[in-house]
A and B are shown apart, each in its own frame.
Chain A
Amino acid sequence: MWQRIFLWLLGVAIVVLPTAARWSWAQGAGPVHSQVSAAVRQAERERVAVMARAAEATVAVFHADGSGGGSGVILSPDGFALTNFHVTSGSGPALKCGLPDGVLYDAVLVGLDPVGDVALIQLLGRDDFPTAVRGDSDAVRVGDWVFVAGNPFLLADDFTPSISYGMISGVQRYQYPAGTLLEYTDCLQTDASINPGNSGGPLFDSQGRLIGINGRASFEKRGRVNVGVGYAISSKQIQRFWSHLHSGRIVDHAALGATVATTAAGQVVVDDILESSDAYRRGLRYGDEILQFAGRNITHANRLQNALGVFPPGWTVPLVYRRDGEIRKKQVRLQPLHDTAQLAAMLQHQHAPLKPAEGDRPGPPDGGPDDEKRAPELPLGVQLAPEKTKLPAAVAARYQPRSGYANYWYNLQRQQQLGRAHLKSAAVMKSSRWTFQATTETGAWDFVVSPQTASLRTPQGRFAADFSADLTTQLSPPGSGGLLLTLHLWQRMLTTDLRAFGEVYYLGQLPSGPAGKLAEHLVGIYGGVEIHFIFSPEESHLLGLEMFADEQSDPCRVWFLDGETLAEHEFPRHWRLDHGDRPPVKLRIESWEFSDAQ
């Protein structure tokens, strides 16, 4: 009974009190303190709590020699943290990171994204680091309250982050390249203060969820302090690059292989296209009107540039375009924006601080992607003369230099995890002669795969490949993109040690297979061809193979359709073969034999 009355009263109170509180507010009754409604005070308390929680995962990042620094944010209990590329640049592989607990931790550089201005580092010495909650930057709207945590002006001696508070001023902003490569696409604009030293630090939504990494600000003529305009790299972009950064590589961004312009009629049309691009192979041509890219409406040339810049190369995105009134929808695989030499050259200059563009070059009104414009400055912390320092032992144990990598050690770990998992589960296939029969819609297919040759007998004829010749010429059967070569490389991967295969590296996760789900890509390069071994992210099961005989043509794709495997090992039963726009062929393995006989 009393409980009932209590609940009744509580319910009524919830409904009535706020109204009453507002009424008394409006009447201006009572002393000043009681004029502040309970709801406001509650909201204040919650805000303070949210900020305190978010501050725990915020890092003060310093160069190992104390020559500069910025901010960062931890995302995993084992210490993986994000910061800006331009914060780590010039420090070498070792960094020092201060947490609000007052402890200074060693950290090691893991991966770099110089175009997107992101660096992944790992704090060392704990397996229970406080972590930030991830938010969805795509859900952020203009007018949302946000707050920034970080170490502006490298102010905090005890590494307690400073908090600044503001509003989202713009979303899907594009900021033109500063220096040579770096550009901010699809970024968030806020009036929360971002100052030198805030670089690399987190931008949180009002619930304390990470929605961006602060990196740039428009300063102009008022000195290097905030004037109400800061930019953050979207968490959505970083989420896509996350596994790529874990690969220890210096990662690139994607290009479509085509450029567009906005016509006077307001249409976005292709004004140039590379014939070697996947977009071209999928049918995109000069003069086609782009309607949608990656699910986003393209109403202006800038929007395409903006939507494109947040993807790693190799990502497959839906593209909708119109030709002669007919709307076409294609899945297009994006290509790298730079070649390796360009990225390497960029990194060579990393010791020189990135300078803001001189002067002010405003763009014309409709601002196409080629228009030049003033680039905002990088709010990097104080740069002093760097000194040579020896790597701390914890860092040295996790650092391996290699050209094209920020830290090869991390790549090696992922290669070995994926490679070993597969070798272990597919031990029976570790043999030099594979013989198997499959049924297809058109009849039975008989395969023989060996280190020197491979053959396929189908009702349509017999096909063979000779692997002592130039591999790029052995692409039979015709129209498959090199099915026999793909199987040969798979066999080679299982029968040789990973290191003896050729060049092998872990790429990261890409949308893969017919469903376009994210899967791990382990890349092998041998004899001028590139093969991707595609694994499920959790169990490291082999999901498929993707072989690129050259950069100009469609890959041969072998996708294993379900988890059914044969003979207690990882020889999948149901295959789907794809090449370009040809209709896929489905195989069902009926019998098999793995032996070492020649």
Chain B
Amino acid sequence: MLNNFLRGWRACAPADLGGRPTHQIFHISHLTSDKVGLRPSLRWLLWRIKKYAGLLVLFVALWGIHGSCVSVAADWQHVLRTAQSKVVKIYGAGGLRQLEAYQTGLLISPSGHVLTAWSYVLDTDDLVALLDDGSKWQATLQAYDPVLELAVLKLPVGDTVFPYFDLGEAAARQAREGQRVLVLSNLFGIATGDEAVSVLQGTITAVAPLDARRGAYRSPFRGDVYILDASANNPGAAGGGLVDWDGQLLGVLGKELRSRVTGTWLNYALPAASIHDSVQHLLRGQAPRAEVVAEVPQQPATAPRLGFVLIPPVLARTPPYVDSVFRNSAAEEAGLRPDDLVVFVGDTPIPSVPALEEALARHELRQPLMLSVLRDGDLLELELKTRAEAFVP
């Protein structure tokens, strides 16, 4: 902490000498010993040296301070450059007003896995990741977690060994309130080509549960996040890295959200420990908490059989909103209502109407079905139990 403070503000402060004092003392003892049998002139010289030994100590000490000052500045540059080299700029869909077509990502494996925010930016086949060295890579969406709103992209397999943040190590780091941190992101898309991403500095002001909204909708993740005093979560910053002053990863920047209480824009990062398990699933190409795919059911569930109707799938990605609910159905008994948005069937994330229909088709109708729905910003878990007499052929 102290070291960090000094390193930034005034790298020449004497405290940075810490690692080196024995070195300078050695110089002096070397000069003052071994004087037997010296010629008078040399002895005189040594006496002069002894006389000014104090000054010499000062000089050597100052020289040492100077040396460590230079090396600290170089170390600091190295820390920043190393951290920046693991951050990528991502370009994809968007481009309309206030829908930036860019965001940030973090390399989390040597083979080119990129952790980023799950957003509309990824909603394209032409997804590009620009690395710190300016190299341009076609990225593919490998898997995503709709609750954490994180996704893992994969860069093409090749000979390249990418610099990366070790998420496993990061998950073991617990950052605290008051810790000074750095924020690395391509906010506002400022950096282009091989330009390095922006570095902002600040402090973790709180570790607190996320209670936020995007528009009218409550954000699905409710766990603890790092609240920052740096303007971290700007347009394009989502997916950026929160690192400590040694450049070690602490967390990942989430999407732009407002506080549900005050309406102010939040500056926060998802702690590495909170996302680690989910990201391990994503790295394996699995949806987090994914069930083992069951055998084909004898009698597959469908929305009407469960007692509700979805809005018409006019587009491939039509969100699975409930249009209407039948009276006396399993859906009604479970509390499903029109305008609910289905986000999960069991542990499987559901991005669209076809995806929901597919997930239901894999489900045995007789088995209870867990549906997670978003209603007025709240995530509700409903259990639909089908009664035998309710069967509709």
A pairs with B: yes
Cβ of A52 within 8 Å of any chain B Cβ, yes or no, is: no
Residue pair B200, A191 in contact (C-beta under 8 Å): yes
Instruction: Please tell me the number of chain A residues within 8 Å of chain B, measured between CB atoms.
Output: 68
A40–B199 Cα distance when bound, in Å, is 24
Kindly identify, within residues 199 to 242 of chain B, every residue whose CB is under 8 Å from any CB belonging to chain A. 199-201, 230-232, 234-235
Cβ of A226 within 8 Å of any chain B Cβ, yes or no, is: yes
CB nearest neighbor in B for A364: B91
Residue pair B14, A143 in contact (C-beta under 8 Å): no
Residue pair B95, A362 in contact (C-beta under 8 Å): yes
Residue pair A360, B95 in contact (C-beta under 8 Å): yes
Please tell me which stretch of A2-10, A330-338, A452-460, A467-475 contacts chain B, meaning at least 4 of its Cβ atoms lie within 8 angstroms of it: A2-10
Kindly identify, within residues 132 to 176 of chain B, every residue whose CB is under 8 Å from any CB belonging to chain A. 134-136
A10–B134 Cα distance when bound, in Å, is 51
Residue pair A142, B232 in contact (C-beta under 8 Å): no
Instruction: Please tell me the number of chain B residues within 8 Å of chain A, measured between CB atoms.
Output: 66
Q: How far is the CB of B116 from chain A (nearest CB, A)?
A: 14
B17 proximity list for chain A (CB < 8 A): 14-15, 18-19
Cβ of B128 within 8 Å of any chain A Cβ, yes or no, is: yes
B234 proximity list for chain A (CB < 8 A): 218, 220, 227-229
Known: A169-B199, A220-B188, A363-B192. A8 touches B14 (CB 8 A): no
Residue pair B95, A173 in contact (C-beta under 8 Å): no
Interface of chain B, helix or strand or loop or mixed?
mixed
Residue pair B53, A367 in contact (C-beta under 8 Å): no
Q: Given A14, A25, A221, which contacts B98 in the complex, CB threshold below 8 Å?
A: A221
Kindly identify, within residues 120 to 154 of chain A, every residue whose CB is under 8 Å from any CB belonging to chain B. 141-143, 145
Kindly identify, within residues 19 to 75 of chain B, every residue whose CB is under 8 Å from any CB belonging to chain A. 21, 24-25, 51, 53-58, 61, 64
CB nearest neighbor in A for B130: A365
CB nearest neighbor in A for B81: A142
A143–B182 Cα distance when bound, in Å, is 9
Residue pair A47, B200 in contact (C-beta under 8 Å): no
Cβ of B196 within 8 Å of any chain A Cβ, yes or no, is: yes
Residue pair A303, B265 in contact (C-beta under 8 Å): no
Residue pair B201, A191 in contact (C-beta under 8 Å): yes
CB nearest neighbor in A for B57: A11
Known: A6-B54, A15-B24. A169 touches B235 (CB 8 A): no
Residue pair B91, A170 in contact (C-beta under 8 Å): no
Interface of chain A, helix or strand or loop or mixed?
mixed
Residue pair A365, B187 in contact (C-beta under 8 Å): no
Residue pair A363, B13 in contact (C-beta under 8 Å): no
Q: How far is the CB of A406 from chain B (nearest CB, A)?
A: 31
Residue pair A43, B5 in contact (C-beta under 8 Å): yes
Which of A25, A169, A222, A366 has most chain B Cβ within 10 Å? A169
Residue pair A302, B195 in contact (C-beta under 8 Å): yes
Residue pair A206, B13 in contact (C-beta under 8 Å): no
A292–B2 Cα distance when bound, in Å, is 41
Q: Given B15, B101, B188, which contacts A218 in the complex, CB threshold below 8 Å?
A: B188
Known: A7-B57, A39-B6, A302-B192. A359 touches B97 (CB 8 A): yes
Cβ of A22 within 8 Å of any chain B Cβ, yes or no, is: yes
CB nearest neighbor in B for A175: B190
Kindly identify, within residues 293 to 345 of chain B, every residue whose CB is under 8 Å from any CB belonging to chain A. none
Residue pair A361, B55 in contact (C-beta under 8 Å): no
- Which residues from chain A sit less than 8 Å from chain B, CB to CB? 3-8, 10-12, 14-19, 21-22, 25, 37, 39-40, 42-43, 46-47, 141-143, 145, 166-170, 172-175, 189, 191, 206, 218, 220-222, 226-229, 262, 266, 299-303, 359-367, 373-374, 376
